[in-house]
Amino acid sequence: MSRTSRPARPLIAIPARFSATTSALRYAAEVNARALIEAVWRAGGEPAGIHPAATDVTERLARFDGVLLPGGGDLAPHRYGAPGVHDSVYDVDEVQDAFDLEVARHAVRSGLPLLAVCRGLQVVNVALGGTLEQDMGGPDGEHRHVVHPVAVQRGTLLERATRAQKVEASCYHHQRVDRLGTGLAITARAADHTVEGLELPGAQGWFTAVQWHPEDTAHEDPTQQGLFDALVRAARA
């Protein structure tokens, strides 16, 4: 195949994360993890950070072939009807929340291929009317800096993407799903029953979400890279 006839990489929208400080830049920045970007690139996608802003998400996403909702800070508890705010809640940004929630709703509604990671899973759950447990119990209960086994449900998109029924998951979160959003099904759990995967059976397009960070080890673990490969395949289709 000639260079000019090589198929274009599917364009994957990745909402940027606000950062107060970034090395070598003189101002606050909008960023995404390099490991995440490289995982999409390895899969054959063209990762594109998009600016979180109060604009028409439908119009802005029309040019994209898929979406990746990445990790980040906590959602504001009022977004899921919590009566108060736990002391451990951090890095809440109302602009970020509003944008991510609308991106999730649009992708699910339109069938735009969607992979949601960590905070991304929580965003989709809340976007569909679910709730979160604000804190899992401190250092003895949370899943920060933890690599642990996760059991994957058979017959799910998650199993097809990872080609496994048990994966070693790199986790960094202190919150988890409480009440499931409308239509969502659990596709993976940790040993302590924490929800680690969600899908939407019967959805119009490809969608799966994981509570862990597959990008952490995707460069050396085909099981984790498989999630990004599946997203890009769906986007190409």
The region of weakest confidence among 17-26, 94-103, 135-144, 162-171 is: 17-26
Task: For the chain, give the mean pLDDT.
Answer: 94
pTM for this entry: 0.95
Q: Considering the candidates 118, 143, 173, 174, report the single residue annotated as catalytic.
A: 118
- Residue 114's nearest CA partner among 22, 10, 222 is 10
**215 part of the active site:** yes
**Cα separation of 75 and 89, whole Å?**
8
Q: Considering the candidates 106, 143, 173, 213, report the single residue annotated as catalytic.
A: 213
Question: Residue 1: pLDDT band by 50, 70, 90 thresholds?
Answer: very low
**72, pLDDT greater than 70:** yes
Q: Considering the candidates 102, 159, 199, 215, report the single residue annotated as catalytic.
A: 215
Q: What's the order of all strands across the beta sheet hosting 143-152? A: 46-50, 11-15, 66-69, 114-117, 207-210, 195-199, 185-190, 143-152, 166-173
Q: Which two tokens stand for residue 140?
A: 């003895």
- Residue 100's nearest CA partner among 29, 13, 162 is 13
Residue 102's contacts (CB-CB under 8 Å, 6 or more residues apart) are: 57
**171 part of the active site:** no
